[in-house]
Each structure stands twice: as C-alpha cells, then as structure tokens.
C-alpha cells in the first residue's frame, strides 16, 4: 500500500507593497501568497516544486462559485478566459467556495482526501472556503447556541463550529472564513441579541483556532483563517462592536485576514419577495432568495468597520457590488473581492462594459495597453464631455458600464459586446446573436456573457492596480480615480457608429 501524506508548503503571506493615504482612506497594493493543496506521495520531501504557491497582486477577486462550479461555465470554458498565468491580464484567480451549498461534501471529502479543489475540477486554483454564497439571501431566526444556519436552494442546514472545522479539514482550502452568528438586524434585534452574537463570534473563533492548534501539532498547518466582522454589529453599537473586534484580533498570530460581512443587505424581506414575484421581465422571477446587485454602499459604516483593523491583514468584502462601489472599497483599503457581480449580471443578460474607461486609458494609466488612437479619439472626447455633464437619463445613445442584451435595440446590432474587449465572446459573436440567444432562452447566452464579464472584471482589477502603482501623490490618485469612477457611473455618451461595427453576424 502506498503511503501518502498531506503537505502545505508554507503559510499564506500577505504583504503590503505600497500605501497611499488620501483624504478618503489608505489605498494599497499588496501581494497575497496562496498555497495550492497538493497531496504528496511517499518519498516527496515536501519541497516546493514551483507550482505549490501562487503569488497574487492585490486588489484582486476570487472566482465566485455555486455548489463548487462557476455559474454558467465549465472548467474547460474557464481556460478560454484565463489561458495562461502569464497572460497580459496577470493572474488566474483563486476560487471562492461557500459552505452553504457544499456542506454536504464534508463526508465524501473526508474520504476523498484530495481536497475540494480536485473534487470540483478546479485543482489549479487556490480555494477560499467561505460560509455564505454572496448571491444568496439569508433568513433570520435560526442561529442558536449550537451553531448557525446555512441557506441554499435545498433549504436550511445547521453548521456548528465543530462541523465547520471538520469541513476545513476535509476541504483543505488555502484560506477559510470562520463562521459567525450573522443574525443581527438593527430593525428587529435588541441589545441582548447583539451581545449574544458578539459572544458567539468569540466562542466560534477561539474554538476553531484551538482545534487548529491541536491539528497543527499532528500535521502541518493546513489553512489560514479569516475572522468575520458583521456590519450589523457596528450599526447597532459601535463601542461594543469595536471591543469585540479587538478581542477577536487578540489571537492575531493565527488570523490571516478579515471578512467584512453584511455590507450588502443580505436578509430575505417580505416586501422584496412580493416584488420579485410580480416582476414580469423574468428578472429573478420565482427566485426570491437570490441577492440583487448592490446599488449602494454605506461608506460611513465601512469606515467604522475598518477603523481598528491592522494594516497587515488583507480585507475581503463579499458581494455583487457595482464597479464604482468596488472602487470606493479599494480606495479605503479593501484588498479582496469576488466575481459574484459577473455571475449575477450574466443571469440578467447584462454585459459589463469598460469602454468609456478604455477609450481614454492612456490618460488614466501609462502602462496599461492603450487602444488604437483611431478608435479612442472620438470616444475620449465624448467621455470627457460626459464627465463634466450630468448624465442624461435614458439617453438614446448612452451606454454606461452595463448594457442589457434583452433590449430589443440589439436585434440588429452586429458589433461585439465591447469593442475594446478581446475575449472569446467579443471576438466570435455579435450583440445581435447574444440578444437572440436570450430571446429564445438558449443556455449559451449566459455562457457567452459570463465569459465576457469575467474578462472585463479581470481588466478592471488590472486597471485598478495600475492606478495605485503609477500614482505617487494622493491628489493624482484621487483625480484619476474620480475620472474613472465618473465614467463608470455615468451613462456615458458613447455612440458606436454603424461603420465602426464589425459586421460579422455569427448566426
């Protein structure tokens, strides 16, 4: 019988490479080193073979998954988006897998021994084990002293701290978010409930850390832990919340990062359920438990949450925030995100566009690949105009950072989704074809949009990193960020002329 043992090469490391203090916060660039789980055969001394750790430049995003798969696309299709690690876009993202839909894997995975990455066919990506799917709403009233409730389309499932630790041991992720009693809602919870939630956060965290210390003595350390900080704690009582966070951080030598949870409103509400049922566009219809794209971000609340956190810990904010909101988060020192925005937009037939930014990329970044000037000149002029003007409402020619391919106006639009994007979808297919796919409910529609959206999100993060890297004064960083943010937020006046279009209908 061949013996095998589990090896994690090193602990994860986060280092801040550059910090720029501006009037809004500390914006930073960093590196997060994530180990890939490998199961070494007998005789392997566990030395690094060059593939066991991946170094990621931050700010960055994790690929959002549901039940261990990236919505709409397979691992094979994923290779069309991230062909090689040395691709100009930079890096093949690590993957976020949430326990709510995968807790049922705990038992088979403890027998499988090769970790969740291999189990779901994503073994080339480091795994971040989180608790909740950022696109799934939570229900109130089911957390108790034994643990918390996980929610998925299969219903509710309890999770105790012990089960959580068993999951970590079986899944073998690179990092894990420690569970937290999320069920505090300022509208209905009293102070007693808040105190209970804070106590449980400490109990859960110390239980998990203690278990891990015991495990560590037997085996090599296998995961890095992120503590969870709930936004609702700060909404209810900033003083109590701050004290609790400081206590959670006392075991800092074991903590490798922070999850800032609940910045999106994540509870199922009666009113919302009714609205969703009435929706005749099919947008989210019949699926009242799915999270919508987050339109707003409570900056004041975010600042309170960030206040006492040490600079050397990476911070992750889960959820489908729009690009301008992600920029606000980056500006305040948030390092880690997920691609749930891309997934949700693909569900809605919405394509993410950076055209307004990419048209004037040279004036934002000196190192990013600039578009051919023939393409960008006229666009830059219009984008500049748009920046100074109030965005027109429902402008006929306006195209902001999002277009909906369900819109009938794309019926005979033979251009690509974005003329600045070189993704598979934009190279091979037209807006007209994708509109047709959605109109006839073909599964290929969301596949093509997801390919494009992930490629676009990837470029967005590359641009964000370039922005921080190239600007050494807070003023220039703020000025360029404001320009980019306005372009993404406004309904930009970019009219794509008929003759500019690539007239290659693919049907």
By the criterion CB under 5 A, which residues form the site for Zn ion?
A: 421, 423, 425-426, 452
Contact 108, 114 (CB under 8 A): no
CA distances from 424 to 29, 65, 69, 411, 418 (A): 29, 21, 20, 21, 11
Our CB check for Zn ion shows the closer of 326 and 448 to be: 448
Residue 435 marked in a binding site = no
CB nearer Zn ion, residue 426 or residue 478: 426
Residue 32, φ and ψ in degrees, nearest 5: -120, 120
DSSP assignments along 427-485, one per residue? HH--HHHHHHHHHTT-THHHHHHHHHHHHHHHHHHHHHHHHHHH--SHHHHHHHHHHHH
By beta-carbon proximity to Zn ion, the closer residue of 223 and 425 is: 425
* Least distance between Zn ion and beta carbon 148 (Å): 39
Cβ at position 356, least distance to Zn ion in Å: 15
By C-beta, is 81 or 248 nearer to Zn ion?
81
* Least distance CB 331 / Zn ion (angstroms): 26
Token pair for residue 302? 């975010």
What is the smallest separation between the CB atom of 430 and Zn ion, expressed in angstroms?
Answer: 12
Spatial distance between the Cα atoms of 453 and 346, rounded to a whole number of angstroms: 8
Separation between Cα atoms, residue 294 and residue 143, nearest integer Å: 25
User: Quick one: 120 or 423, whose CB is closer to Zn ion?
Assistant: 423
Q: Which are the contacts of 180, defined by CB distance < 8 A and separation ≥ 6?
A: 131, 148, 197, 200, 201, 204, 228, 229, 230, 261
Task: Give whichever of 226 and 460 is closer to Zn ion, judged by the CB atom.
Answer: 460
Q: What pairing do the DSSP bridges indicate for beta strands 402-404 and 350-352?
A: antiparallel
CB 61 within 8 A of CB 336: yes
Complex with Zn ion: residue 89 or 254, whichever CB lies closer: 89
CB of 432 to Zn ion, least distance (A): 15
Q: In the bound complex, what is the minimum distance in angstroms from residue 44's beta carbon to Zn ion?
A: 41
421 is in an annotated binding site: yes
Length of the chain (residues): 507
CA distance 453 to 456: 5
Count of C-beta atoms within a 10 Å radius of residue 157: 16
Longest CA span, the chain: 73
Residue 171, CA distances (Å) to 63, 113, 392 in order: 17, 8, 50
Report, in Å, the least distance between residue 167 CB and Zn ion: 36
Question: Where is the binding site, in residues?
Answer: 421, 423, 426, 452
Question: Where is the binding site for Zn(2+), in residues?
Answer: 421, 423, 426, 452
């Amino acid at each position: 019988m061949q013996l095998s043992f589990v090896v994690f090469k090193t602990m994860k490391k986060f280092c801040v490479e550059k910090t720029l203090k501006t009037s809004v916060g500390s914006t930073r660039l960093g590196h997060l080193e994530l180990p890939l789980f490998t199961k070494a055969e007998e005789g392997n001394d566990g030395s690094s073979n060059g593939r066991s750790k991946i170094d990621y430049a931050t700010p960055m995003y994790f690929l959002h998954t549901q039940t261990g798969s990236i919505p709409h696309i397979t691992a094979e299709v994923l290779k069309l988006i991230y062909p090689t690690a040395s691709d100009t876009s930079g890096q093949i993202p690590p993957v976020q897998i949430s326990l709510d839909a995968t807790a049922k894997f705990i038992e088979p995975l403890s027998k499988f021994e090769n970790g969740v990455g291999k189990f779901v066919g994503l073994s080339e990506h480091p795994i971040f084990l989180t608790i909740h799917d950022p696109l799934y709403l939570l229900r109130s009233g089911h957390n108790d002293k034994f643990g918390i409730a996980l929610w998925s389309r299969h219903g509710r499932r309890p999770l105790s701290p012990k089960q959580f630790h068993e999951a970590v041991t079986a899944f073998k992720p690179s990092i894990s978010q420690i569970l937290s009693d999320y069920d505090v809602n300022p509208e209905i919870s009293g102070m007693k409930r808040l105190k209970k939630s804070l106590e449980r956060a400490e109990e859960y965290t110390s239980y998990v850390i203690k278990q891990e210390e015991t495990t560590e003595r037997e085996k090599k350390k296998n995961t890095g832990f992120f503590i969870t900080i709930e936004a609702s704690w700060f909404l209810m009582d900033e003083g109590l919340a701050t004290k609790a966070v400081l206590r959670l951080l006392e075991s800092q030598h074991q903590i490798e990062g922070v999850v800032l949870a609940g910045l999106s409103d994540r509870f199922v509400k009666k009113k919302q359920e009714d609205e969703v049922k009435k929706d005749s566009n099919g947008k989210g219809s019949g699926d009242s438990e799915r999270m919508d794209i987050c339109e707003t971000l409570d900056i004041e609340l975010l600042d309170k949450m960030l206040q006492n956190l040490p600079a050397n810990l990476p911070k992750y904010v889960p959820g489908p925030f729009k690009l301008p909101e992600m920029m606000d988060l980056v500006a305040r020192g948030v390092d880690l995100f997920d691609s749930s925005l891309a997934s949700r937009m693909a569900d809605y037939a919405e394509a993410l566009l950076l055209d307004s930014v990419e048209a004037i990329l040279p004036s934002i970044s000196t190192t990013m690949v600039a578009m051919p000037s023939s393409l960008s000149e006229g666009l830059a002029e219009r984008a500049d105009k748009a920046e100074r003007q109030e965005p027109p409402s429902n402008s006929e020619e306006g195209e902001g950072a999002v277009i909906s391919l369900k819109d009938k106006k794309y019926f005979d639009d033979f251009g690509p989704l974005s003329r600045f994007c070189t993704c598979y979808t934009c190279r091979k297919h037209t807006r007209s074809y994708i509109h047709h796919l959605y109109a006839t409910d073909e599964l290929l529609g969301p596949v093509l949009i997801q390919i494009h959206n992930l490629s676009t999100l990837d470029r967005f993060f590359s641009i964000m990193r370039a922005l921080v890297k190239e600007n050494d004064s807070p003023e220039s960083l703020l000025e360029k960020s404001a320009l980019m943010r306005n372009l993404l937020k406004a309904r930009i006046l970019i009219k794509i002329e008929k003759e500019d279009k690539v007239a290659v209908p693919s049907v």
